């Protein structure tokens, strides 16, 4: 039986710690403060001859080494303007694109209760 009717997604989670401030925020978030950011990335696609979408090791190498490690224990405002969870998710997706890794979705939790989800618009 063909599996062409199925969509397969590989997903990995990461954590990093960073400071930021949001100059526009009317409340306490305009002050310098930190978060333990949780990031989940998805890659969607067909299975290759190994039966995988992407090797978990390759995915974590790119996402951690190329994108998140440079942000870890830094001030996010030094890397991008107005580092909201939404803009951080876009930053991660675009950085991954630049390495040739096309993420289908990025989720960024600033706190246990608050997250932003970035996904590609349907073409
Ligand atoms: N849409 C967005 N709104 C806010 C963002 C954001 O990235 N996108 N970010 C912030 C601040 O970074 C803030 O630190 C997050 O605050 P909050 O979710 O309110 O978390 P707290 O733990 O501070 O919440 P309590 O109110 O203390 O429970 C603000 N808004
Ligand atoms: Zn914050």
Q: What's the pTM?
A: 0.95
Ligand 1 contact, 111 CB (< 6 A): yes
Q: Name the CA dihedral angle for 67, 97, 49, 47, rounded to a multiple of 10 degrees.
A: 100
Burial class (CB in 10 A: 0-12, 13-18, 19+), 47: exposed
What the chain holds in terms of domains, given with CATH numbers, is 9-119 (3.30.479.10)
Q: How far apart are CA 108 and CA 15, in angstroms?
A: 10
Ligand with minimal distance to 32 CA: 2
- Give distance in angstroms: CA of 63 to centre of ligand 2: 22
- Give distance in angstroms: CA of 35 to centre of ligand 1: 10
Catalytic residues: 29, 73, 110
Query: Which ipTM did the prediction report?
Result: 0.92
pLDDT (tens digit per residue) in 65-113: 999 999 999 999 999 999 999 999 999 999 999 999 999 999 999 999 9
């Amino acid at each position: 039986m063909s599996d062409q009717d199925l969509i397969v997604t590989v997903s990995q989670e990461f954590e990093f710690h960073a400071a930021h401030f949001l100059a526009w925020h009317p409340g306490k978030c305009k002050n310098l403060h930190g978060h333990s950011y949780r990031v989940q990335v998805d890659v969607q696609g067909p299975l290759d001859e190994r039966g995988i979408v992407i090797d978990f090791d390759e995915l974590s190498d790119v996402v951690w080494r190329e994108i998140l490690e440079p942000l870890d224990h830094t001030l996010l405002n030094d890397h991008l303007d107005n580092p909201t969870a939404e803009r951080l998710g876009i930053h991660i997706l675009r950085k991954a694109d630049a390495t040739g890794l096309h993420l289908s979705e990025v989720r960024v939790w600033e706190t246990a209760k608050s997250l932003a989800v970035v996904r590609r618009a349907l073409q």
